[in-house]
Each structure stands twice: as structure tokens, then as C-alpha cells.
């Protein structure tokens, strides 16, 4: 077959090219630009090679922030995924309860990040916040602005409150797609409740769970607004995660070179983890088919 060659067709790609260039490529290249130079003003700049990268990669405060970030993200995933699945399994399958629970679950998702931070900031206060007050009443000394552990737990609970609904909704959608015949067959085959979950429900939820884990990983790894509103990263550095650290470096100290270098590293970490996770899960699915 003769392929028709018409190079004018490339013009049709131009609009997309412009949009992608303006929205992604040009800003990203600016960051690359800053990460390899020391720029004082447009006329005064020096090429520094990998110096900024070496500096940020060797920064012990950044290591601490990274470790905090990893522990935080893993905690988020380990709590939200099982909790989301568990809640999805207990949701009603028909009747008015379906729409009622859908609305209730969707509510936290509709609240802007900084409002969530503000809500919990007030809710958790020992003097005027309902939550903080009640906890202190019960004899537990709780103060998120002074005790690092309390601050940490508060940020975690806040995230669970905000985002578990997403996992619930995704899992629920997956569960609803299972035909009744599967449950009936399982009953007749004498399957236990656990076997129904393990061999029917979990496999059907697999694809939505992959999406859920990816979204929650990316979002929690980039968390900024909520801890910023709640404690500003404190007390000390207890809730200073990577974004917080980066912002302080770029906006607070105006260290644009190291900040740019770190931005790139940050971006690559997320890209790499997502890619590895996605590939492993998808290949696992394929291998099973053979």
C-alpha cells in the first residue's frame, strides 16, 4: 500500500504543541536553566554544572524531609487503601442509602485544601476546638502546635478524613460492576466471606485500586497546603515535607539554583515511582494471563 505523504498535516499538531510548550515544556526548561547556573540578574550569570545538585543531594535537612515524606506517604497509603476498601464493602447496594452515602462521602472531596487545613486547625485547638478540647478532657495531653507527634498525627488524620472517600468511591464503582451471578455462584460453591473477597471482589477492584494508589501516592507525596495552614511545617520541622522544604528554599531564602535542582529531583522521584509501580502491576496482570 502506498502511504500518502502530506507534510502539511504537521500543522494540525501545532496547536497542541503550543499548549504543551507553554504549559509544561517552557516552565520546566526554565527550571532546568536555573538548576545549572548561578543567576544574579539576566546579565550576571555563571554556569555551575552539577554543583547545585550535589549541594541539595548532600543536604541533611533535605534527607530528613525526604524520610519524613516517605514515612508520611506510606502511612497514608497503608491507612487509606484498606480503610477505603473496608468502607466500600459495607456500603449499601441499593435503596436510598446509596445516594445518601455517596453525598456524604463526596463532601470532604469538595472542600479546598486550605479550607481543610483551617477546619482542622480550629477543630484541633485545645482551647476553642471541639476535637482538641474533648481529647484534653479525656486526660490526653494533646497540642499539635507544640508536640511534634501530635502535629504529625493531626496531619495524617486530616489526610485520611479528606481523601479516604476517593478510595471508597473508586472501590465502590469496582464492586458495583460485579454481576450478581458471581455472588450466587460463590454461595453455591460454598465460598467463605473471605474467599468471596479474595477471589471475586479484590480481583475486580484491582484496576481501580491501581489508579487509587497512584493518585494517593502522588498527592500525598506533594502535600503542601494542609500542613502549611495547620502548623506551617512545625513544630520545629516535624511536619516539614518536601514541598514545604522546597518552598522555604525558593521563596523564603531565594536560593533559586538549589531550589530548581531540587525541583527536578523531586519531579523525577514521583515520575520514577509511578512508572515502576504501574509497570510492575500491569506486567503482573499480563504474566498471569500466559
Partner 1 sequence: MARIDLKGLAHSYFPDPKTDEDYALRRMEHVWEDGGAYALLGPSGCGKTTLLNIISGLLTPSHGQVLFDGKDVTNLAPEERNIAQVFQFPVIYDTMTVYENLAFPLRNRGVDAKRVDARVREIAGMLDLTGKLKQKARGLGADEKQTISLGRGLVRDDVSAILFDEPLTVIDPHLKWVLRRKLKEIHNKLRPTMVYVTHDQVEALTFADKVVVMYGGKVVQLGTPQELFENPAHTFVGYFIGSPGMNIMDCKIDDGAAWVDGQRIGLSDRLLEAVSKQTGKIELGIRPEFLTLETGDAAKGSDGVDVNIIKVEDLGQYKIATTRFGASEIKVKLGEDEQVVGQSGVLRFAPEWTKLYADSQLVA
Whole-angstrom Cα distance, residue 164 to residue 78? 11
**Do 202 and 84 meet the contact criterion of CB atoms below 8 Å apart?**
no
| Residue number, 127 or 288, with CB nearest to partner 1 | 288
Minimum CB separation of residue 130 from partner 1 in Å reads 45
Minimum CB separation of residue 178 from partner 1 in Å reads 10
**Do 79 and 155 meet the contact criterion of CB atoms below 8 Å apart?**
no
Whole-angstrom Cα distance, residue 139 to residue 147? 16
> Which stretch of DSSP H or E encloses residue 35?
helix 26-35
Interacting residues toward partner 1 by CB under 8 A: 179, 181-182, 184-185, 187-192, 195, 199-200, 203-204, 288-290
Minimum CB separation of residue 209 from partner 1 in Å reads 14
How far is C-alpha 184 from the chain's CA centre?
37
| Residue number, 41 or 288, with CB nearest to partner 1 | 288
| Residue number, 137 or 188, with CB nearest to partner 1 | 188
| Residue number, 10 or 194, with CB nearest to partner 1 | 194
| Residue number, 22 or 185, with CB nearest to partner 1 | 185
3-class secondary-structure state, position 130: helix
User: Judging by DSSP bridges, how do beta strands 44-47 and 37-41 pair with one another?
Assistant: antiparallel
| Residue number, 108 or 203, with CB nearest to partner 1 | 203
How far is C-alpha 164 from the chain's CA centre?
12
Please confirm whether the linkage preceding 4 is cis (ω < 30° from 0): no
Minimum CB separation of residue 94 from partner 1 in Å reads 15
Residue that the C-alpha cell 478532657 belongs to: 137
Minimum CB separation of residue 286 from partner 1 in Å reads 9
Residue that the C-alpha cell 512508572 belongs to: 275
Minimum CB separation of residue 175 from partner 1 in Å reads 15
CB burial readout 50-72, b (16+ within 10 A) else e: ebbbebbeebeebeebbebbeeb
Amino acid at each position: 500500500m502506498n502511504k500518502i505523504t502530506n507534510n502539511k498535516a504537521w500543522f494540525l499538531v501545532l496547536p497542541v504543541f503550543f499548549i504543551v510548550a507553554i504549559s509544561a515544556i517552557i516552565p520546566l526548561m526554565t527550571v532546568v536553566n536555573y538548576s545549572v547556573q548561578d543567576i544574579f540578574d539576566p546579565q550576571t550569570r555563571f554556569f555551575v554544572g552539577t554543583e547545585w545538585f550535589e549541594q541539595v543531594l548532600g543536604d541533611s535537612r533535605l534527607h530528613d524531609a525526604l524520610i519524613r515524606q516517605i514515612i508520611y506517604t506510606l502511612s497514608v497509603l497503608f491507612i487509606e487503601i484498606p480503610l477505603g476498601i473496608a468502607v466500600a464493602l459495607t456500603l449499601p447496594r441499593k435503596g436510598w442509602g446509596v445516594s445518601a452515602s455517596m453525598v456524604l462521602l463526596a463532601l470532604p472531596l469538595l472542600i479546598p485544601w486550605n479550607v481543610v487545613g483551617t477546619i482542622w486547625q480550629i477543630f484541633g485547638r485545645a482551647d476553642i476546638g471541639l476535637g482538641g478540647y474533648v481529647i484534653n478532657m479525656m486526660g490526653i495531653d494533646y497540642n499539635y502546635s507544640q508536640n511534634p507527634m501530635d502535629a504529625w498525627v493531626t496531619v495524617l488524620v486530616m489526610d485520611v478524613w479528606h481523601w479516604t472517600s476517593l478510595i471508597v468511591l473508586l472501590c465502590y464503582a469496582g464492586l458495583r460492576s460485579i454481576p450478581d451471578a458471581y455472588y450466587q455462584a460463590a454461595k453455591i460453591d460454598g465460598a467463605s466471606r473471605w474467599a468471596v473477597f479474595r477471589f471475586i471482589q479484590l480481583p475486580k477492584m484491582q484496576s481501580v485500586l491501581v489508579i487509587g494508589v497512584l493518585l494517593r501516592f502522588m498527592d500525598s507525596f506533594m502535600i503542601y497546603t494542609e500542613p502549611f495552614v495547620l502548623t506551617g511545617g512545625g513544630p520545629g520541622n516535624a511536619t516539614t515535607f518536601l514541598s514545604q522544604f522546597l518552598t522555604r528554599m525558593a521563596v523564603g531564602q531565594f536560593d533559586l539554583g538549589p531550589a530548581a535542582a531540587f525541583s527536578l529531583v523531586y519531579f523525577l522521584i514521583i515520575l520514577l515511582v509511578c512508572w515502576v509501580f504501574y509497570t510492575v502491576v500491569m506486567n503482573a496482570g499480563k504474566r498471569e494471563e500466559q
